[in-house]
Amino acid sequence: MRQKIIKSDSEWRNLLTPQQYHVTREKGTEPAFTGKYWDCHDPGVFLCVCCGLPLFDSTRKFDSGCGWPSFTAPQEASHVVESADLTHGMQRIEVLCSSCDAHLGHVFPDGPGPDGLRYCINSASLKLEKKQPV
């Protein structure tokens, strides 16, 4: 099991841009259709912007029309944690990085994959490690 990454508030602020900090550490959301990866089709692996843990593979990314990057499943189930989110008068399932507890987005039961899930993830919580051509 991976050791939890714990940093002080000031360490996170020094590591992240203001938007990345707001999304990942304050559970914020970027506006729809504005994030770096919502319309990205590059092959690669999406890492946690805070700690570098591999979270989602581009082969599981799809266009859901919601304005945020959407995936059918995480790269490894153990790399994300799901938690009940009852904020804003809604019942949702929050998705967090299992290594550093960064807020990534939410998962919904309306996806096209074999499990019918849509991981709706903020671009600001991700960093794409592009696959090199062979």
Identify the pLDDT of residue 1: 56
| Tens digits of residue pLDDT in 18-61 | 999 999 999 999 999 999 999 999 999 999 999 999 999 999 99
Does 41 fall in a domain?
A: yes
Check: pTM over 0.85? Answer yes or no: yes
CATH number of the domain within which 44 lies: 2.170.150.20
* Tokens of residue 112, six digits: 């096209």
**Alpha carbon separation from 33 to 40, 72, 89, 126 (Å, rounded):** 11, 19, 23, 15
**Cβ of 129: how many Cβ atoms within 10 Å?**
13
Q: pLDDT class for 132, splitting at 50, 70, 90?
A: confident
**Phi-psi group of 35: left, alpha or beta (phi > 0 → left; psi -120 to 50 → alpha; rest → beta):** beta
| Tens digits of residue pLDDT in 58-80 | 999 999 999 999 999 999 999 99
**Cβ of 102: how many Cβ atoms within 10 Å?**
27
Residue range of the domain that includes 91: 9-129
Instruction: List residues bridging with 108 in a β-sheet.
Output: 118
Does 3 fall in a domain?
A: no
Is residue 134's pLDDT more than 70? no
- In the chain, how many domains are there? 1
Q: Active site includes 120?
A: yes
Does 44 fall in a domain?
A: yes
- DSSP letters, 84-110, are EE-GGG--EEEEEETTT--EEEEEES-
Q: Which residue among the candidates 48, 50, 97, 120 is catalytic per the annotation?
A: 120
Is residue 2's pLDDT more than 80? no
